[in-house]
Amino acid sequence: MLKPSQAGFRRLLPLLRPHLRQLIAGFACMLVYVSSFLLLLNLAGDLFPSLSSRDLPRVINLILQGVAIFAVQKLAQFGMDSLLAGPALLVSQQLRSDLFRRLQTVELGALEKLSAGDLTYRLTEDADRVSEVLYKSIHDTVPSALQLIAVLGYMLWLDWKLTGAIVLLAPVIVWLISLFGARVMAATERSQKKVSELAGLLGEAIDGLPLVRAFAAEPWLQQRFESEIDQHRRARHRTYSLVALQHPVVGMIEVVGLFSVLGLAAWRIQSGDLSIAGLSSYLTGLVVLIDPIAHVTNNFNEFQQGQASLRRLRQIEREPQEPADPSDAVPLGALRGDLKLENVVFSYTANEPVLHGIDLEIRAGQVVALVGPSGAGKSTLFSLLLRFNTCQSGQILLDGHDLSRLRARELRRQVALVPQRTTVFSGSIAEAIRFGRSASDAEVIEAARLANADAFIRSFPRGYDTLLEERGSNVSGGQLQRIAIARAVLGNPALLLLDEATSALDAEAEAAVQVGLRRAMADRTVLVIAHRLATVQEADQIVVLEKGSIVDRGSHDQLMHQGGRYRELCERQFIRDLQNR
Ligand code: ADP
């Protein structure tokens, strides 16, 4: 009855291996728990006839035995529940951690296409559901199923004809359950997809709320949100309706089954094949069966929902991954920072290349400004230098090492990026500068000094321990940029990639950032996507990119003198700056 897709949970089994001892102890308790039911059934067979024989000492003796069996059973149940909870939770934690690790290595192009809200939902809600199902399966479904098998076996031994009749009824019930289960799963998957979409929209909406307000687009967003939640409600309603129908139908079948059994039992006693003691055990067995049947039925539904969640989680695994490091990677020593690009061709898709045969040589310590219209390929060039992407032909050499022959993490320790829009994680300023690297306090302070950030950081009451709020919203734009510069120069990278911020800072803040930048750039090879005239003029080399090709290169004076594309760009910017003044 299991579909191939349901093998999902089976694939989690290897994750249980490290917890084998605890599982074995838990299962031992489970066996005691299940066996106790057989003892109780046997006892019931003795007890009920004794009640009618008025043999009080025997009845008391049997009751005491019953209490003792119950005590052992409850103790075993406690052992089973507590021993099995740990492994189930650890497995789901492992699953979450594995998926997050996987997410960290998803190719950046693919990552950009994923919705943050949707991913968050998967790694929280879906992972929780999987964890819940896993826990229930181990500590509830398995003992219930075992109890079902053991009690049924005992009943077969008591009267196989009667039990045979019951067993014939079982497939009907199972068929009905699975019929509903498949539908419940499909409906749940649809409803979960809706919640994911809702989370995606919410993520976008929260980010874009100021913009929405600026455009007075609140009614539009409200309407979009309401349409999403309406679709979500409908999807949920369908699941609830199915579950509502399932309970009475399955319940009815069970009741009809039970009455049929009672009728058959009466016939077996009449014909003398079943004793009163046997019937007592038998009927107690039937009562004892109701609970595990209910558990297995309910858990089966949850299992279906868990399958849907697990499948959604597993989709993350199918996202394309960053290319692995070459097995014979060259270890990187201290670098000077000589950079050479030879006929570099790169395209994101099979169609038009974004960079057409770029040749560029930068000596260690030089500053090169990349200028050109938006879409020219400047950021793409940065992504190649960080090895977020690899070029299709040509090569990039750093101190003579082909980038594609290096370990990505080692390379990235030598290539530091100051992005246009700085993001920081919530935490202290010192943590933001360290960004997971091991560096002493003195090194952090040194980096901050270089970035012209030390003084303002110290002016905060808690200094380097000042907590940055999400996205650094409690410091100014200029301060955040200086933190980003300190973060980049910590570890003394050989190559600094600078994407100048275009958003206007006030003159004072801008000057402070410039001081930091100038110090950070000293004695380092720097590639800067330049928007400010000052940076461009001071660069050793200016490279004008257009539609993925270098159309002009030289110093500011040379290029102004030549009067090519660069001069046009400068004049246009000069006029724009004049107009903005
Ligand atoms: P610039 O930084 O000069 O503005 P980019 O390097 O961002 O230019 O973009 C160069 C070209 O590559 C543009 O045509 C852009 O649309 C395209 N491009 C950028 N990123 C991607 C991507 N992840 N997938 C497909 N095309 C992209």
- The pLDDT assigned to 574 comes to 65
Ligand 1: residue whose CA is nearest its atom 18: 348
Phi, then psi, of 335 in degrees rounded to 5: -110, 150
Shortest-distance atom of ligand 1 to CA 383? 6
- The pLDDT assigned to 326 comes to 86
* CATH number of the 13-318 domain: 1.20.1560.10
To the nearest whole percent, how much of the chain has pLDDT over 90? Answer: 29
Three-state SS for 332?
Answer: coil
- The pLDDT assigned to 233 comes to 92
Helix and strand numbers, DSSP H then E, in the chain? 19, 12
- The pLDDT assigned to 504 comes to 65
> Does 31 have pLDDT greater than 60?
yes
Helical (H) or strand (E) element with 416: strand 415-418
Alpha-carbon distance of 376 to 354, in angstroms, equals: 8
- Identical fold for domains 13-318 and 339-580, yes or no, is no
> Does 462 have pLDDT greater than 90?
yes
> Which tokens hold the place of 238?
């369908």
User: Is the minimum distance from the CB of 389 to ligand 1 under 6 angstroms?
Assistant: no
Residues in the chain, overall count: 581
Mean pLDDT of 80-105: 88
User: Is the minimum distance from the CB of 502 to ligand 1 under 6 angstroms?
Assistant: no
Pocket test of ligand 1: the residue of 114, 345, 346, 354 to mutate, having most ligand atoms within 8 Å of its CB, is 354
Reported confidence tier of residue 460, pLDDT bands at 50, 70, 90: very high
Distance from Cα 557 to the centre of ligand 1, integer Å? 30
List the one residue out of 135, 124, 84, 145 whose CA is nearest residue 303: 135
> Does 5 have pLDDT greater than 60?
no
> Does 464 have pLDDT greater than 90?
yes
Alpha-carbon distance of 529 to 374, in angstroms, equals: 11
List the one residue out of 455, 531, 439 whose CA is nearest residue 488: 439
Reported confidence tier of residue 177, pLDDT bands at 50, 70, 90: low
Q: Are 134 and 236 in contact (CB under 8 A)?
A: no
Distance from Cα 253 to the centre of ligand 1, integer Å? 63
Shortest-distance atom of ligand 1 to CA 376? 3
Alpha-carbon distance of 479 to 354, in angstroms, equals: 34
Strand (E) positions, 158-201? none
Distance from Cα 375 to the centre of ligand 1, integer Å? 6
Mean pLDDT of 311-340: 86
Three-state SS for 418?
Answer: strand
Pairing of strands 525-529, 401-402: unpaired
Alpha-carbon distance of 25 to 14, in angstroms, equals: 18
User: Is the minimum distance from the CB of 374 to ligand 1 under 6 angstroms?
Assistant: yes
Give the residue with greater pLDDT, 176 vs 48: 48
43-80 b/e (C-beta count within 10 Å ≥ 16 → b): bbbbbbbbeeeeeeeeeeebeebbeebeeebeebbebb
User: Is the minimum distance from the CB of 570 to ligand 1 under 6 angstroms?
Assistant: no
> Does 166 have pLDDT greater than 80?
no
What is residue 321's DSSP assignment?
A: B
User: Is the minimum distance from the CB of 215 to ligand 1 under 6 angstroms?
Assistant: no
Mean pLDDT of 196-211: 84
Q: Are 398 and 495 in contact (CB under 8 A)?
A: yes
| pLDDT tens-place string over residues 232-271 | 899 889 888 988 887 787 777 777 777 877 788 888 888 8
Ligand 1: residue whose CA is nearest its atom 26: 348
Three-state SS for 331?
Answer: coil
> Which tokens hold the place of 577?
């700056």
Alpha-carbon distance of 249 to 255, in angstroms, equals: 10
What radius of gyration, in Å, describes the C-alpha atoms of the chain? 35
Ligand 1: residue whose CA is nearest its atom 13: 375
User: Is the minimum distance from the CB of 353 to ligand 1 under 6 angstroms?
Assistant: no
Shortest-distance atom of ligand 1 to CA 548? 10
Alpha-carbon distance of 141 to 300, in angstroms, equals: 8
User: Is the minimum distance from the CB of 384 to ligand 1 under 6 angstroms?
Assistant: no
Mean pLDDT of 37-49: 88
Reported confidence tier of residue 488, pLDDT bands at 50, 70, 90: very high
Alpha-carbon distance of 92 to 369, in angstroms, equals: 49
Give the residue with greater pLDDT, 158 vs 505: 158
Pocket test of ligand 1: the residue of 112, 114, 379, 543 to mutate, having most ligand atoms within 8 Å of its CB, is 379
Shortest-distance atom of ligand 1 to CA 545? 3
User: Is the minimum distance from the CB of 371 to ligand 1 under 6 angstroms?
Assistant: no
Alpha-carbon distance of 391 to 522, in angstroms, equals: 29
Shortest-distance atom of ligand 1 to CA 374? 4
Q: How many CA atoms lie within 13 A of 402 on its CB side?
A: 13
What are the sequence ranges of the domains in the chain? 13-318, 339-580
User: Is the minimum distance from the CB of 109 to ligand 1 under 6 angstroms?
Assistant: yes
Q: How large is the angle between the packed helices 56-104 and 127-136, nearest 10 degrees? A: 150
Pairing of strands 393-398, 427-428: unpaired
Instruction: Please state, as a whole number, how many other Cβ atoms lie within 10 Å of the Cβ of residue 161.
Output: 13
Ligand 1: residue whose CA is nearest its atom 1: 375
Reported confidence tier of residue 1, pLDDT bands at 50, 70, 90: very low
Distance from Cα 485 to the centre of ligand 1, integer Å? 24
| pLDDT tens-place string over residues 348-404 | 887 788 999 899 999 999 999 999 888 889 999 999 999 988 888 999 999 999 998
User: Is the minimum distance from the CB of 370 to ligand 1 under 6 angstroms?
Assistant: no
User: Is the minimum distance from the CB of 376 to ligand 1 under 6 angstroms?
Assistant: yes
Ligand 1: residue whose CA is nearest its atom 16: 375
User: Is the minimum distance from the CB of 320 to ligand 1 under 6 angstroms?
Assistant: no
Q: Is the dihedral of CA 313, 314, 319, 323 positive or negative?
A: positive
> Which tokens hold the place of 342?
């030879």
Phi, then psi, of 225 in degrees rounded to 5: -65, -45
User: Is the minimum distance from the CB of 574 to ligand 1 under 6 angstroms?
Assistant: no
Mean pLDDT over each residue of the chain, to the nearest integer? 86
Alpha-carbon distance of 571 to 565, in angstroms, equals: 10
CA angle 360, 364, 367 (to 5 degrees): 70
CA angle 207, 208, 213 (to 5 degrees): 135
Q: What is the DSSP string of 492-518?
A: --SEEEEE---SPPPHHHHHHHHHHHH
Residue type, 442: A
User: Is the minimum distance from the CB of 373 to ligand 1 under 6 angstroms?
Assistant: no
- The pLDDT assigned to 463 comes to 93
User: Is the minimum distance from the CB of 378 to ligand 1 under 6 angstroms?
Assistant: yes
Alpha-carbon distance of 273 to 268, in angstroms, equals: 6
- The pLDDT assigned to 6 comes to 45
Distance from Cα 380 to the centre of ligand 1, integer Å? 6
Q: Are 337 and 495 in contact (CB under 8 A)?
A: yes
Query: Does the domain formed by 339-580 have CATH 3.40.50.300?
Result: yes
